[in-house]
Structure 1
């Protein structure tokens, strides 16, 4: 017995192109909206920080409650190490409460963590590229990674608020650029579909 897509590859391609168009278009539009929101004065950064903090907080609350319930069941069943599960649940619950009660501060801390991780990652990647046996572009990219990592580190230390704002703007530019590319690709897929018909 043959399956339908193998029996009619034109229909499969047409279906894939139509599905790709719709989802790529939706993805592109959402990315552009996200990017534009990041450029709204203070609104973008504040909304993003609060949204991320509340989302993480709610997840931590549910995770904490679930871990505590699991720990109690482990204790009842005589499972060793249930105390660690309980401790993890309590920590998750407390962290979730802090994130939900103080979302702006939590969002700022998460943003700073992302910045530090980015700076460390850039420097590490640069050092690894410089340490590789290759030469040419890899060496130049390694130098650039290290330099950008150092500049970002200095910016975080010198003015963390400005560094966070720059991160928001970079996310905005990325969202608009990524969204624009997705929308362009979506319409290219649609054009291909029409040409194939």
Structure 2
């Protein structure tokens, strides 16, 4: 311990060592983008799990489309059941304050009725979904055709016409063969799940590489 010129003891000191970042840990940063990247890299396994589940669902949709369709119908029924109960609860609470509660009650009852139908006849729920999709495709195609003939030929009129015709043909085919249409829609959903899962896996392993390639700050560094 050194002494000062005034006779008072002077404590010795040394520069604090720099914080060491353990291998595999990303250093803290004030940049929000880097902070988000660091958080994702630390939890890369969760993103990888999403990818695996997505690919597994996609493979199942291709291998057993009917089972997947019925499962989605039952999931929709469960959603309608929960939503209907919550709507009825909201209606009861609104009735206590003399607000317009009967619309909420009607919505809740309709949701419960839809849930019961979907639970008892899941195939009917799938069929209804296919027919709604068909109606959307036909109406969408018709509006595209109507807009196409208001478009200049040089601006791509015939491409819009082609798009409208394809949409309408797709809708008509769904109406003529709803079961086949439901299977095709399930396959499309499976294809999306596989592509999405693959992208999530690629992202997860890139984040994992970033996490492990981050160099550690050496201990004992002085200013």
What is the rounded CA distance, in whole Å, between the counterparts of 1:26 and 1:139 in structure 2?
45
| Candidates 56, 72, 84, aligned match of 1:64 | 84
Contact in 2 for aligned 1:22/1:186 (Cα 8 Å): yes
Whole-angstrom CA distance in 2 between matches of 1:10 and 1:88: 46
Residues 130 and 139 of structure 1 are in contact (CA less than 8 Å); yes or no, is this contact kept in structure 2?
A: yes
| Deviation string, structure 1 residues 12-56 (Cα, Å, up to 9, x no partner) | 74443233x32331222111111101111xx33x33222222222
Give the match for residue 78 of structure 1: 98
How much does 1:130 deviate? 7.7
Radius of gyration: which is bigger?
2
Structure 1: segments with no counterpart, 5+ residues = none
1:162 equivalent in structure 2: 180
Q: Is the 8 A contact 2:57 2:193 kept in 1?
A: yes
Question: In 2, are the aligned partners of 1:58 and 1:96 still within 8 Å (CA)?
Answer: yes
Q: Structure 2: which 5+ runs fail to align?
A: 1-27, 216-223
Report the aligned-residue RMSD.
Answer: 3.3
Cα distance, 1:193 vs structure 2:
3.7
Cα distance change of structure 1 residues 156 and 194 upon mapping to structure 2, 3 Å threshold: same
Residue 142 of structure 1 deviates from its aligned partner by: 3.0
State yes or no: 1:107 paired with 2:126. yes
Q: Distance in 1 between matches of 2:153 and 2:72?
A: 40
Aligned residues: 188
State the shift of 1:133 in Å. Answer: 7.2
Q: Does 1:55 align with 2:78?
A: no
1: CA distance, partners of 2:174 / 2:103: 35
